[in-house]
Chains A and B, each alone.
Chain A
């Protein structure tokens, strides 16, 4: 079965550079969530989209922006990167209101390292 695809898997950027992370949800899933997981930390909710509209916003810095496109894939754009942005970035998808079992499917994550 198709899973959530994230690209790239690994990314190394220098301070003050920009980065774009991509997420391709499971087919027919209409909701995408972005999470940031710092080293040794729990995942923190950043932002979510439902039917191509932003549906909720968490602890996402102003330097970050995201959108969901007509094919439901989503991109997280990160500018003026800081060392503290080094983290594992997860994307998850669901079909509307997340139901029981497998309501959320996570991608394998993008590991961003800022040097």
Chain B
């Protein structure tokens, strides 16, 4: 079963406007972490923002903020004042325990949302 769901395959936004990229997750763990990564056409995976399950405040990093609604199991990414350089694929990911147990975790990714910023 998909543990990270991104329902928007593609999104369009006008330059300088704000955009919200949706992410819902499924876990039975009490302690987990949620990440957003940006992948431009060049391919590298760029970390944007992190939200821990016990964090009481929504995470913010510059123009990026995470709208964390724990009861709804959603962790939407909000990009304010969009720029042309924001055009990229955006992945939501969840840190979950590795199947072998122990103290290591792995990231599980959603299918991604392709954001296009129009001038």
A: residues with CB less than 8 A from B are 31, 33, 41-45, 48, 50, 55-58, 88, 90, 92, 96-98, 100-106, 108-109, 111
For chain B, the count of residues having a C-beta within 8 Å of the partner chain is 26
- Asked whether B68 is an interface residue with its Cβ less than 8 Å from the other chain, the reply is no
A98 touches B109 (CB 8 A): no
Q: Say if the beta carbon of B47 comes within 8 Å of chain A.
A: yes
Q: Could you say which residues of chain B place their CB within 8 Å of the CB of A31?
A: 104
* Identity of the chain A residue whose Cβ is nearest the Cβ of B107 in the assembled complex: A104
Query: Can you list 29 residue pairs at the A/B interface with Cβ under 8 Å?
Result: A33-B106, A33-B107, A42-B91, A43-B107, A43-B109, A48-B106, A55-B102, A55-B104, A56-B106, A57-B99, A58-B106, A92-B107, A98-B33, A98-B95, A98-B107, A100-B50, A101-B50, A102-B47, A102-B50, A103-B33, A104-B107, A105-B47, A106-B37, A106-B45, A106-B46, A108-B44, A109-B43, A109-B45, A111-B43
Contact of A43 among B45, B50, B95, B98 (CB under 8 A): B45
> In the complex, which residues 28-83 of chain B have their Cβ closer than 8 Å to any Cβ of chain A?
33, 35, 37, 43-47, 50, 52
